[in-house]
C-alpha cells in the first residue's frame, strides 16, 4: 500500500522553520515559547538544550538567543543587539512582514491600524515597529472617538479571519482619504483544508492526526470523511488498527496545526508495519 | 400641502466653479457637456456664447476650449495642447484627483481598479490616465476571471455610494496582498444623499430634479424611491403631474449636483400651483 502526505499539513511553514532553526542551534535559549506546543518545547529542551526563558533578566547570561515564531518587540531586539548576543531569528516570515510594513508606513507618515489582540505576543511585536499613532483594535467601535489621519495603513494579526478584517477596512475608508491595506493574514489553516480535500479524493483510507479536542484537526477530519468514508481521526500511532488498511491501495495522511512531525512520522512508520 | 427642500441639494462646488469659469470665458466652446444639465447649458450658450461641441473635428476651429467638469481623456487633452489651443480647465478638482492618483499609481506599478460606469465621461477620463492593467467595474463579479496583480490601487467614480465601494474593496483584499484604497467619492454627493434619505422618511411624495443622464441625480432618485414609493425624477417643471400630489401632506424636493437653483425654484412654484 502506498502512503501519501497531504500537500500541506500539520505545523505551518513558520513553525516547521522555527523548529529546524532550534534543532540547529543547540545550547541556546528562546525568549518566551518558541511555538505554542508544550510537547515540542520539552523535546527541544531535552534533545538540543534549547531553553525557554521568560524574562530579559533570565536571558542575561545567554549567548545565543532564538527569536520565537511570534516575534518580539523592536526594543527587546535592540537590547539583545546592544548586548552583542548572537541572535538567531526564527520569527515567522509572515509575522516579520507586518513588522516591516508597519515600520515603513509609519516612517512614511501613515497612521497605523492593526487588527488584532493587543495582548498577543505577535501583535505586541508588530505594534512596537510603529513610530507613533498606532491603533490596535478588534472592532471598529474602538476607533469611533479617535482622531485618525487622512493617510492610514492597515495590517492584520496573521491568524485573523479575512471577513472581519474587511469590516475594519470598510469602516476606515469612510474616515480617511487613503487607506493602504496590507492583507497579512496567513492562510495556513485554509491550505491544510484544501490539501486534505484534494488527497481524500484519491485515497482509499485517510488518517488525520491531532488532539481529539483540536478544533482545526476536527475540521480536517470532517472534510476528509465527507469525501472518503474510511477516514479516521487519531492522536497517535497506538490507535491504528490493521483492518483499516486491508485491501487498500492508497493511504492519505494529514495532521492538525498543533501536531509535530515526529508524531506524524511515528504514525506513518506504524502504518507501514500494519499494511 | 407643505413643500420642503432637502437640507443639502443641487449645485456642488465643482459645478458652481465650472459655471463661473464658463461665464468668464465668453465665445468659447466645451468638449461635451460642461455639466449634465441641458437647461443650464442652453443659458450659457444664449448669454455667454459658450458652445457645446461633441467631436474633436467640430472643435478644430475653436481657439478657447473649456474642459468640462467630468474631465476628458489624457489623449484628447494632449491633442488640444499640441494644437496650441487655449485650454481653460473646468474639470472638478474632485475628478482631477482620481485622474492624478490613477496616473501616479499606474506609474508605480499598481494595477488599477475603478469602481464606476465605463460609459460615463468622468470614468472614461479617469481610466485614460492608467498606463496599463485597468479594470472598470460596477460589481466584483466582473473581476472573478481576471488576473490581478498583488499590488492594486482602487478609486471610485465621485458619485458612487461608499457602501458599494466598500464591497469592492472587501473583495480585493482577498485577491491582492496590497490594496491601496483612495476614497474619491465626493462629499457633496454624500451630503445630498444623506439629506434625501432623511427627507424621504417623512415626505409623502418626493420630487428629484436633474438631468436624466446625471449619475448623481439617478442615485438620489434610487435612494428616495427605496424609502418613499411616490418618488419622481424630473428634469423640469413641465413633467410634473397634478395627480402626484393629490391627498399628500408633505412634498420633499431634492436636486442633483448639476441642477441650477432657478430650475428648482420653477419646479417648486409649479408644485404650489398644482397642489
**Residue-wise DSSP of A199-260:** HHTT-SEEEEES-TT-HHHHHHHHHHHHH-SSEEEESSGGG--GGGGTT-SEEEEEE-TT--
- Give the model's pLDDT for residue B71: 97
Q: What is the CATH number of the domain that holds B80?
A: 3.40.50.11270
The residue from A181, A198, A232 where one domain ends is: A181
- Give the model's pLDDT for residue A13: 84
Backbone angles phi, psi at A58, to 5 degrees: -60, -30
Contacts of A164 in chain B (CB under 8 A): none
pLDDT bracket for residue A109 (50, 70, 90): very high
Q: How many helices (H) and strands (E) does chain B have?
A: 10, 12
Q: Kindly state the percentage of chain B with pLDDT values over 90.
A: 86
Mean pLDDT of the residues in chain A: 93
The residue from B159, B181, B203 where one domain ends is: B181
Asked if residue A47 belongs to a known ligand binding site, the reply is no
- A165: closest chain B residue by CA: B170
Distance CA A85, CA A274 (A): 49
Do both A244 and A260 map to the same domain?
yes
C-beta atoms of B178 and A178 within 8 A: no
Do both B113 and B174 map to the same domain?
yes
Distance CA A58, CA A52 (A): 10
Do both A83 and A104 map to the same domain?
no
Task: Note if A122 is an active site residue.
Answer: yes
What are the angstrom distances between the C-alpha of B53 and each of A184, B33, B67? 50, 8, 11
Non-local (6+) Cβ contacts of A20 within 8 A are none
Do both B166 and B124 map to the same domain?
yes
Asked if residue A61 belongs to a known ligand binding site, the reply is no
Do both A140 and A177 map to the same domain?
yes
C-beta atoms of B166 and A169 within 8 A: yes
- Give the model's pLDDT for residue B234: 97
Residue among A122, A163, A191, A273 flagged as catalytic: A122
Domain, as residue range, for A207 = 2-8+187-274
Query: Regarding beta strands A134-137 and B134-137, do their DSSP bridges make them parallel or antiparallel, or are they unpaired?
Result: unpaired
A213 pLDDT exceeds 80?
A: no
The residue from A91, A119, A135 where one domain ends is: A91
Do both A207 and A242 map to the same domain?
yes
pLDDT tens for each residue of A15-69:
889 999 999 999 999 999 898 777 788 999 999 999 999 998 999 989 999 999 9
Q: What is the CATH number of the domain that holds A228?
A: 3.40.1010.20
If residue B206 lies in a helix (H) or strand (E), which one and from where to where?
strand B205-209
- Per-residue pLDDT averaged across B122-151, rounded? 96
pLDDT tens for each residue of A241-250:
999 999 999 9
- Give the model's pLDDT for residue A22: 96
- Give the model's pLDDT for residue A211: 82
- Per-residue pLDDT averaged across A91-113, rounded? 97
- Give the model's pLDDT for residue A16: 87
Q: How many domains does chain A have?
A: 3
pLDDT bracket for residue B151 (50, 70, 90): very high
Do both A85 and A99 map to the same domain?
no
- Give the model's pLDDT for residue A73: 96
- Per-residue pLDDT averaged across B103-124, rounded? 97
pLDDT bracket for residue B137 (50, 70, 90): very high
Q: How distant is the Cα of A95 from the closest Cα of chain B, in angstroms?
A: 14
Residue among B122, B178, B191, B237 flagged as catalytic: B122
Q: Which of B131-135, B217-221, B256-260 shows the lowest mean pLDDT across its residues?
A: B256-260
- Give the model's pLDDT for residue A217: 86
Asked if residue A186 belongs to a known ligand binding site, the reply is yes
Residue B94 cell numbers, joined: 474632485
Closest CA to A101 of A28, A184, A177: A184
pLDDT bracket for residue A100 (50, 70, 90): very high
- Give the model's pLDDT for residue A260: 87
Distance CA B193, CA B8 (A): 8
Contacts of A170 in chain B (CB under 8 A): 166, 169-170
C-beta atoms of B181 and A178 within 8 A: yes
For residue A178, give the nearest of B165, B176, B182 by CB distance: B182
Distance CA A247, CA B266 (A): 88
C-beta atoms of B178 and A180 within 8 A: yes
Residue B117 cell numbers, joined: 460606469
Do both A76 and A136 map to the same domain?
no
Helix, strand and coil in chain A, % to nearest 5: 45, 20, 35
Do both B34 and B101 map to the same domain?
no
Residue B179 cell numbers, joined: 490594496
Amino acid at each position: 500500500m502506498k502512503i501519501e502526505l497531504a500537500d500541506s499539513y500539520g505545523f505551518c511553514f513558520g513553525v516547521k522553520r522555527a523548529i529546524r532553526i532550534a534543532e540547529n542551534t543547540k545550547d541556546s535559549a528562546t525568549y518566551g515559547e518558541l511555538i505554542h506546543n508544550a510537547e515540542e518545547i520539552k523535546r527541544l529542551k531535552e534533545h538540543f538544550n534549547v531553553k525557554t526563558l521568560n524574562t530579559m533578566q533570565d536571558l542575561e547570561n545567554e549567548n545565543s538567543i532564538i527569536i520565537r515564531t511570534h516575534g518580539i518587540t523592536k526594543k527587546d531586539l535592540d537590547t539583545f543587539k546592544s548586548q552583542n548576543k548572537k541572535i538567531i531569528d526564527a520569527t515567522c516570515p509572515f509575522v516579520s512582514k507586518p513588522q516591516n510594513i508597519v515600520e515603513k508606513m509609519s516612517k512614511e507618515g501613515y497612521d497605523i491600524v492593526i487588527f488584532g489582540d493587543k495582548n498577543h505576543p505577535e501583535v505586541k511585536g508588530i505594534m512596537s515597529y510603529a513610530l507613533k499613532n498606532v491603533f490596535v483594535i478588534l472592532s471598529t467601535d474602538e476607533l469611533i472617538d479617535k482622531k485618525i489621519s487622512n493617510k492610514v495603513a492597515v495590517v492584520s494579526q496573521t491568524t485573523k479571519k479575512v471577513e472581519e478584517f474587511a469590516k475594519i477596512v470598510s469602516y476606515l475608508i469612510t474616515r480617511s482619504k487613503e487607506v493602504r491595506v496590507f492583507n497579512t493574514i496567513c492562510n495556513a489553516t485554509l491550505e491544510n483544508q484544501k490539501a486534505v480535500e484534494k488527497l481524500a479524493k484519491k485515497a482509499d483510507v485517510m488518517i488525520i492526526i491531532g488532539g481529539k479536542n483540536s478544533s482545526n484537526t476536527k475540521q480536517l477530519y470532517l472534510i476528509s470523511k465527507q469525501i472518503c468514508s474510511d477516514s479516521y481521526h487519531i492522536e497517535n500511532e497506538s490507535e491504528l488498527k490493521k483492518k483499516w488498511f486491508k485491501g487498500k491501495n492508497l493511504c492519505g495522511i494529514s495532521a492538525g496545526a498543533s501536531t509535530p512531525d515526529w508524531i506524524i512520522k511515528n504514525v506513518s512508520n506504524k502504518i507501514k508495519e500494519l499494511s
